[in-house]
Amino acid sequence: MIEAEGVRKLYGGKVALDDVSFRIERGEVVGFLGLNGAGKTTMLRILCGLLLPSGGRVLVNGVDAVDDPLALRRSIGFLPDRPPLYGDMTVQDMLRYAGRLHGVAHRELDRRVDEVIALTGLSRVASDLVDTLSHGFRQRAGIATAIVHAPRLVVLDEPISGLDPAQIVEMRAVIRGLKDRHTVLMSSHILGEVSETCDRILVLHGGRIVAQGSEADLVRGGAVRVEVVARGALAALKEPSPLAVAGVTDVETIAVDGGLVRLRARVADDAAREGLVRALVVAGFGVRSVVPLESGLEALFLQLTAGEASAAASAPGVAA
Nearer to other proteins, 137 or 285 (CB): 137
- Can residue 8 be called a binding residue for other proteins (CB under 8 A)? no
From 21-29, 101-109, 256-264, 307-315, give the range in contact with other proteins by CB under 8 A. 101-109
From 73-81, 169-177, 225-233, 240-248, give the range in contact with other proteins by CB under 8 A. 73-81
Q: Name residues contacting other proteins, limited to 123-152 (CB under 8 A).
A: 145
Q: How many residues bind other proteins (CB under 8 A)?
A: 30
Count how many residues are written for the chain.
320
- Can residue 6 be called a binding residue for other proteins (CB under 8 A)? no
Report, in Å, the least distance between residue 8 CB and other proteins.
13
Residue 9 to residues 55, 67, 102, 128, 203, Cα–Cα distance (Å): 7, 17, 27, 40, 17
Nearer to other proteins, 101 or 293 (CB): 101
Strand pairing report for 29-33 and 55-60: unpaired
Residue among 132, 113, 108, 131 nearest 123 (CA) = 113
Nearer to other proteins, 116 or 268 (CB): 116
Q: Are 175 and 159 in contact (CB under 8 A)?
A: yes
Q: Interface mask (CB under 8 A) for other proteins, residues 18-57, using x and -? A: ------------------------------xxxxx-----
From 30-38, 97-105, 113-121, 185-193, give the range in contact with other proteins by CB under 8 A. 97-105
Binding footprint of other proteins on the chain (CB under 8 A): 11, 48-52, 69-71, 73-74, 76-78, 80, 82-89, 97-98, 100-103, 145
